[in-house]
Amino acid sequence: MAALYGISQWMIPLILVVIPLWAWFKQVSVYDCFVEGAAEGVKTAIRIFPYILGMLVAIGIFRGSGALAALTDLVSPVLGKIGFPAEVLPLAVIRPLSGSGALGVTAELINAYGPDSFIGHLASVMQGSTDTTFYILAVYFGAVGIKKYRHALWVGLTADCVGFLTAIFICHLFFPLS
């Protein structure tokens, strides 16, 4: 298992050397080709910027006002009944909204309760097993001018909810006494 982390540290350096080298052997003019692709990336970043700005400001207001914390307090007694520890609830609420926010909460939980506690394990699994649904939705659809999302949001949130509930169940199985 420790090898897995070693692999993940080697992954990006390997990609950085293998792809250009492979292209070189295939007679691609590597630098020109790279720059051509990079130009597209910069344009894309500018096109998605307004969507990121809009999302971050709304989430910033919701979080900064204390309303997010109040919402968390409101729903935690209900969720406590299904074996969902109240400490981890802010993470479940913030995970679909803000990637950096969720990472901050996960780091806090791991440091406060210890990485090998039940809460530390659960926070780690939750953080790793879902992604920032609202952000991805806004950015991916914003980039190509989709106005009618149809069922996208509901499907994304279904995946998040099932992922969270599964994370709790699996953590009870894998880390019962921690």
Partner 1 sequence: MALNFIWLAMIVLGVCYAGFTGQIDLISPAAFAAAEQSVGILLEMAGILGLWLGLLNLAEKSGFVDMLAKVLYPIAAFLFPDIPRKDPAMGAIVMNMSANLLGLGNAATPFGIKAMEEMARLNGHSPVASNSMITFLVLNTSSVTLIPATVIGLRTKAGALNAVDIVLPTFLATVIGCTAGLLAERILRKWFS
The footprint of partner 1 on residues 121-140 (CB under 8 A) is 121, 124-134, 136-140
Contact by Cβ (8 Å): 127, 110: no
Q: Which of residues 41-70 bind partner 1 (CB under 8 A)?
A: 41-42, 44-46, 48-49, 52-67, 70
Contact by Cβ (8 Å): 137, 152: yes
Asked if residue 146 binds partner 1 (CB under 8 A), the reply is yes
Nearer to partner 1, 76 or 134 (CB): 134
What DSSP string runs through 75-104? HHHHHHTTT--GGGHHHHHHTTT-HHHHHH
Closest of 125, 103, 14, 11 to residue 3, by C-alpha:
11
Q: Which of residues 69-108 bind partner 1 (CB under 8 A)?
A: 70, 96, 103, 106-107
- Span from 40-48, 76-84, 86-94 in contact with partner 1 (CB under 8 A): 40-48
- The distance in angstroms from the start CA to the end CA of the chain is 20
- Nearest approach in angstroms of CB 110 to partner 1 is 5
Count of chain residues binding partner 1 (CB under 8 A):
104
Closest of 66, 108, 114 to residue 91, by C-alpha:
108
Asked if residue 110 binds partner 1 (CB under 8 A), the reply is yes
User: Residue 16 is which amino acid?
Assistant: L
Asked if residue 176 binds partner 1 (CB under 8 A), the reply is no
Nearer to partner 1, 77 or 149 (CB): 149
